[in-house]
Chain A
Amino acid sequence: MDSVLNKIEREEMRIDIPEFRAGDLVDVHMRIIEGEKERIQVFRGTVLRKRGSGNNATFTVRKVSGGIGVERIFPIHSPSIEKIEVVSRGKVRQSRIYFLRDLKNKQARLKTRGNR
């Protein structure tokens, strides 16, 4: 009977999401509904972590806006996400790069990995 649940979750999942991991710099294009109008807002930042499985998975993106760190958690398979673009790939050794929170400016840079 579990397979029925898996099937429901699979149907809820999106297949158009690119592969990315912690350390990557991404643009998250969010659909925002303001009253009647719908517009796209781009949130650019570094992926701190991915968690969860199935349609329940989320990822955390951190950016520094005006000197203040901002973190947002997005459900990976949310229909509110128009698209996710990987801007550059960061070279990190941990899957959860929380140490980035304690670093500032130049120290908060990550080495890039590969090309694509």
Chain B
Amino acid sequence: MSSVGLIGKKIGMTAVFGQNGQRIPCTAIVAGPCQVVQKKQSSTDGYDAVQLGFEPIASRKLTNPVKGHYRRHVDAFYRYLKEFRVSDVQPYEEGQNLAADQFEIGDRIKVTGKSKGRGFTGVMKRWNFTGAPASHGTHKVHRHGGSIGQMSYPARVYKGKKMPGRMGNGKVTQKNLEIVDIRPEDNVILIKGQLPGPKNGILYLRKE
């Protein structure tokens, strides 16, 4: 939580060639430019944080209270607002612009996003249960989870029992991700591997 991060948008996956000719699968993110909308300090707000805005929009798309917040601090309007806790707010100023160049190639970062929602899923998809055999007399239970417990003792189902339910659409943080390339002219960061969420999903990038 030392230094501030960036807000970004996932634009999809591709691959680049590494130094030894190996193919590195990458997720491309348009990261920033973000503007510091508000500085929060422990003396006034009880904690130190920097609030960033990302993706400018027309003010008519915002409600009056939100507009007022933007007008008070910076004269610009953004679609996304996100606070990043920092250990020291001194280096940051309201109105300051942050871009992808605050990261370096080879940096280890962590990325937070919202995973794709899968809706109500069964136990095979949600918990990797094996299901039942496809044949040999199996009747109508091919994707069922089987027994959910014992009999008269304990006479109940244990808490936390893995069962069908809603899957995905939750906050996911991936750590120790490697920055493969940074393209400041497009504000694009290439990160090795997969990242949570759909294309055009919002991601929060922080240094490890």
Contact = CB atoms under 8 A, between A and B. Distances in A.
A8 B21 contact: no
Interface in B14-70: 14-17, 20-21, 23, 28, 30
B14 A9 contact: yes
Nearest to A31: B21
Interface stretch (B144-152, B158-166, B182-190): B182-190
Interface string A87-104: 000000000000000000
Chain B facing A: main interface SS: strand
A4 B188 contact: yes
B12 A2 contact: yes
A5 B186 CA distance: 10
Contact of A80 (B12, B14, B21): B21
A107 B44 CA distance: 86
A12 B11 contact: no
Given A8-B183, A8-B190, A77 B17 contact: yes
B17 A78 contact: yes
A1 B200 contact: yes
A79 B21 contact: yes
Contact of B14 (A1, A5, A33, A78): A5
A4 B17 contact: no
A4 B16 contact: no
B30 A1 contact: yes
Contacts, number: 46
Given A75-B23, A78-B21, A80-B21, A5 B16 contact: no
Interface in A50-89: 54-56, 75, 77-80
Nearest to B187: A4
Contacts of B16: 8, 12, 55
A56 B26 CA distance: 12
Contacts of A55: 14-17
Contact of B15 (A4, A7, A56, A79): A56
B28 A5 contact: yes
Contacts of B188: 4, 8
Interface string B1-20: 00000000101101111001
B186 A4 contact: yes
B12 A12 contact: no
Nearest to B181: A8
7 interchain residue pairs of minimum CB distance: A80-B21, A1-B11, A79-B21, A78-B21, A4-B186, A5-B12, A79-B17
Interface of A: 1-2, 4-5, 7-9, 12, 31, 33, 54-56, 75, 77-80
8 contacts: A1-B12, A2-B11, A8-B16, A8-B188, A12-B15, A12-B17, A55-B16, A78-B17
